[in-house]
Chain A
């Protein structure tokens, strides 16, 4: 009888041992989220669509010559599998260079929670194959370097920005207070062959919101991201990411006064018109009221032409501009399902149309991404029903 009792007691221990070892693997593989709907997309001027996402531990790139109706067979970017963050705010990205270069970035979870390395790969042969992935930062501590964003500036330089906890670690080690994480960036002026040692954009910014990057009319890259002011007021900062004359000066650009000692998981979006108008959308739940805001940034001062785009259940807005035409798309969740909504302005953001549903799903979706071609806007949307390019025009 004693033996039987003891054997019964042993079973949970064996299961527990297995569970413990499985835990680290699960976390590394999924990065805290199981969604694999996160994607990035880019449109060539000629009309070829590029889509990047994660399939298990592989980054895959597909293209379409019929505006997303059919996608090519995938080209695997990393033949050697590695863990990949592929959830909403932390998803693979793809941008195109001026000479047909295809640049891809993503964040790779490390073994410990909240950690990651920013990874990069390129194709110089039109996507036939990709170079072996590299880590873009020189700091290799097993800490947060993730939530990467990537852009190409007017001179073809590849700019990568990300959230980085090295300064938090240093402050904690010396018992100094530090809120959130820092934001860093690097750039390559040789088509992604090498990257400069990374530089800091700002200290004490948000740990879990994507960084918006956009080109300025003079060809620089500007960043717009959630930063921390005072006691966990999580508004946004705007900074030009200088590649000639650092240091970078980050200026506060939104003043919603949302206090949250937590992880919003709501990053902003930025698009700069040829006249220099900085169109932006951002999320705030100040006073308990979840709101997507539109405004035109005046770094250092409150934004102008602000508008409440949407309220409860709305999230993950993206924005694009061509001349005086401004498009805003976002997710509107209801009990029935998820709608992809559009609001647009044809007078440079002074007035916007009422919200209009342009697509819906009963399932889930990766965050929508606006793409422009010849002054027309399309929305890349990846739902549980599949990937599609949604028209913004009324037919």
Chain B
């Protein structure tokens, strides 16, 4: 691991040296880094944070997209929901990994790879993950992907499995 970082740092050092002679390129570089930092990093979700997570939004609807690193169906579901959210700005999308926050590096990397780094993202930070499942959605057995839709009027609807076009259209209503 250490040698990898050294190599990376060394290559960037030479990159930086060449940049010093070109201020315009430096500005672009800085802008790129700042832009990258506008992306969300996964934040912890514990039992005491569930109430706020599942509270009815002031308007539109909140869509909680539950997934895990070991779920081969989850990325396509997250991508479909992110697309839906971009088309319907009254959707407040939150991605929640049922994996431990200790795996934040893997979670962030996977979401970034799927083009989802601009969506707020949480991961379980609780000694009782099954209880967290229950607190988020008592009707949910822990299967993934799970999509929980909470509307401004307080009504809820849960969907298990990757969402097809019909179900996505239902969520967008």
On whether the two chains bind one another, the answer is yes
Answer whether residue A193 sits at the interface, using C-beta atoms and an 8 A cutoff.
Answer: no
Name the one of A5, A266, A338 contacting B141, with C-beta atoms under 8 angstroms. Answer: A266
The interface residues of chain B lying within 8 Å CB-to-CB of A5 are 26, 30
Determine the distance from Cα of A232 to Cα of B102 in the docked complex, in whole angstroms: 32
The interface residues of chain A lying within 8 Å CB-to-CB of B1 are 18, 21-22, 25
Task: Give the residue name and chain of the B residue nearest to A207 (CB).
Answer: B72
Answer whether residue A26 sits at the interface, using C-beta atoms and an 8 A cutoff.
Answer: yes
- Report the count of interface residues on B (CB-CB < 8 A): 54
Tell me how far the C-beta of B169 lies from the nearest C-beta in chain A, rounded to whole angstroms.
Answer: 16
Name the one of B12, B72, B133 contacting A333, with C-beta atoms under 8 angstroms. Answer: B133
Answer whether residue B106 sits at the interface, using C-beta atoms and an 8 A cutoff.
Answer: yes
- List 6 interface pairs A-B (beta carbons < 8 Å), by A numbering: A6-B20, A114-B72, A263-B72, A266-B141, A333-B133, A338-B131
Q: A18-B5, A260-B160, A290-B140 are contacts. A384–B72 as well, Cβ < 8 Å?
A: no
Tell me how far the C-beta of A166 lies from the nearest C-beta in chain B, rounded to whole angstroms.
Answer: 15
Cβ < 8 Å to A, chain B residues 129-148? 129-131, 133-135, 138-146
How many interface contacts (CB-CB < 8 Å) are there between A and B?
155
Assess whether A261 is in contact with B103, with CB atoms less than 8 Å apart.
Answer: no
Convert A190-203 into 0s and 1s, putting 1 for each residue whose CB lies closer than 8 angstroms to a CB of B.
Answer: 00000000000000
Give chain A's interface residues, CB within 8 Å of chain B.
2-3, 5-6, 9-10, 12-14, 17-23, 25-27, 30-35, 113-114, 207-208, 232, 259-266, 283, 285, 288-290, 312-313, 315, 331, 333-335, 337-338, 362-364, 384
The interface residues of chain A lying within 8 Å CB-to-CB of B85 are none
Assess whether A262 is in contact with B102, with CB atoms less than 8 Å apart.
Answer: no
Assess whether A20 is in contact with B141, with CB atoms less than 8 Å apart.
Answer: no
Assess whether B131 is in contact with A333, with CB atoms less than 8 Å apart.
Answer: yes
Answer whether residue B8 sits at the interface, using C-beta atoms and an 8 A cutoff.
Answer: yes
Task: Give the residue name and chain of the A residue nearest to B23 (CB).
Answer: A2
The interface residues of chain B lying within 8 Å CB-to-CB of A285 are 141, 143, 160
Tell me how far the C-beta of A64 lies from the nearest C-beta in chain B, rounded to whole angstroms.
Answer: 26
The interface residues of chain B lying within 8 Å CB-to-CB of A20 are 105, 109
Name the one of B105, B138, B143 contacting A313, with C-beta atoms under 8 angstroms. Answer: B138
Name the one of A23, A32, A363 contacting B70, with C-beta atoms under 8 angstroms. Answer: A32
Q: A261-B73, A337-B131 are contacts. A22–B105 as well, Cβ < 8 Å?
A: yes
Residue in A32, A262, A289, A334 with the greatest tally of chain B CB atoms within 10 Å = A262
Assess whether B141 is in contact with A262, with CB atoms less than 8 Å apart.
Answer: no
Q: A19-B109, A260-B160 are contacts. A6–B135 as well, Cβ < 8 Å?
A: no
